[in-house]
Amino acid sequence: MTEFNILISSAGRRVELMQAFRDALRDLGIKGAVCAADCSAEAPAMRLAERAWRVPRCQEAAFTSELLDLAAREDISMIVPTIDAELEPLSFCRKSFAERNTFVSVSAPETVMISVDKALTHTWLAANGFPTVAQSTPDEVLRAPAEWIFPLIVKPRFGSASKGVHYVRSVDELRLAHESEPGLIVQSVATGSEYTVNVYVDAQGKCVCAVPHRRIEVRAGEVSKAVTVKNRRLMQLAQDIAETLPGARGALNIQCFLSNDGIINVIEINSRFGGGYPLAHRAGAPFTNWLVEELLDRPVTAKFDAWTDDLVMLRYDQAVFQPGYEIRATEQISTVVSGVGSGRHAISGEGVCTKRV
């Protein structure tokens, strides 16, 4: 291997994650590039990657085949998926990628299916004795509303980034939500402060680090303000969940609520890098480094709790500026976007890697 090239898939706005992988390559003294793939040429991360390619949407049948060809042709050592919709297809294709010398940083299909299906998440948590909220379907709640205390939370069974999540304060509101949007689930309201615990699971299935952060403010489903909290109960619970999942691997995050009287309720499991991972990274838990160390058979430097407590993250917007004709050119024909992470990139007509979608 002459270079260790990393591809962030569905890169979108995950510029901080890209930088974390750049930190890993620099820290470990490894030559390589941090690249991006997305279905949109307007994704900011596409303009800030060393190399970037437009690919089909992850819901399309051509997604995995295009990514397989891209990985082989561009000598991609590792693919890092970032959104729920691509986890299942990439998880099922891990062996195909491995045959082309590309590691996909994703858990086994069994864990992925548990995490992306909120009904299955609840069933799995309850079956394994982990604390969670009461959950049901709108039909079941409407049949016996007296058994439930309103308000309740309704959310899509398959969804992410808090899309479609809202309160219903009465039977009538629940009935209207059910009629307006099929496939909802209903949950009791968890009280207290919301936490995300970023965990790293090594190749042997051991959770080698757990970093909780309290969510201070959330914008568009992603944490914008948060603070690390070295709460041992949350850390132990997250470790137990991660090590019980069937085939968890790499970066995951577990969302829960901790009430004022100490009651914990787990509400979601995400088997991918979470949007708030940069806080754990800056606190001293560089999951990105550990992933690369493992793949290169180096000693893994992970430590369970050697990270900074009470570190606050306050996010703000940055902008990428580029001539419109360059972005339009990428939309009109499938080209490689070339650059060095400078924020202003040129479009190259060479290295065509995708069909027009």
Q: What are phi and psi of 345, to 5 degrees?
A: -115, 155
226 - beta bridge partners?
215, 313
Q: Which residues make beta-bridge pairs with 153?
A: 167, 187
3 state SS for 43-85: CHHHHCCCEEEECCCCCCCHHHHHHHHHHHHCCEEEEECCCHH
Count of CB atoms situated within 10 Å of the CB of 356: 9
Domains of the chain, by residue range, sit at 5-106+321-348, 134-188, 192-314
Q: List, in sequence order, the alpha helices (H) in 273-323.
A: 277-283, 287-295
Rg over CA atoms, the chain: 21
Residue 301 CA to residue 324 CA, distance in Å, equals 44
Higher per-residue confidence, 344 vs 201: 201
Angle at 114 between CA 21 and CA 273, to 5 degrees: 15
14-47 pLDDT tens trace: 999 999 999 999 999 999 999 999 999 999 999 9
- Per-residue pLDDT tens over the stretch 265-309: 999 999 999 999 999 999 999 999 999 999 999 999 999 999 999
Q: Which residues pair with 337 in a beta bridge?
A: 52, 347
Mean residue pLDDT of the chain comes to 91
Q: Which CATH number fits domain 5-106+321-348: 3.40.50.20, 3.90.1150.10, 3.30.499.10, 3.40.50.720?
A: 3.40.50.20
Q: Which residue has the higher pLDDT, 1 or 74?
A: 74
Torsion (CA) 322, 11, 254, 122 in degrees, nearest 10: 120
Span 154-176, average pLDDT: 88
Q: Using alpha carbons only, give the angle 161, 162, 163 rounded to the nearest 5 degrees.
A: 90
Q: How many CB atoms are located within 10 Å of the residue 2 CB? A: 7
Q: Are 211 and 231 in contact (CB under 8 A)?
A: no
Q: How far is Cα 59 from Cα 56, in angstroms, rounded to an integer?
A: 8
Identical topology for domains 134-188 and 192-314: no
3-state SS, residue 215:
strand
In CATH, what class is 134-188? alpha beta
Q: What fold characterizes domain 192-314?
A: D-amino Acid Aminotransferase; Chain A, domain 1 (3.30.470)
Q: What share of the chain is helix, strand, coil (3-state, %, to 5)?
A: 35, 25, 40
Question: Strand locations in the chain, DSSP E?
Answer: 5-9, 34-38, 51-54, 76-80, 103-104, 135-136, 152-156, 166-168, 184-188, 193-201, 207-219, 222-228, 250-258, 264-270, 312-314, 336-338, 346-348
pLDDT band, very low/low/confident/very high, at 330 (cuts 50, 70, 90): low
Per-residue pLDDT of 224-265, as tens digits, reads 999 999 999 999 999 999 999 999 999 999 999 999 999 999
Q: What is the pLDDT of residue 161?
A: 65
pLDDT level of residue 159 (50, 70, 90 thresholds): confident
H or E element, residue 24: helix 15-27
CA distance 262 to 182: 35
First-residue to last-residue Cα distance in the chain: 32
Query: Does the pLDDT of residue 346 top 90, yes or no?
Result: no
Lowest mean pLDDT among 139-148, 165-174, 348-357: 348-357
User: Cα separation of 248 and 52, whole Å?
Assistant: 28
CA–CA gap between residue 268 and residue 197 (Å, rounded): 11
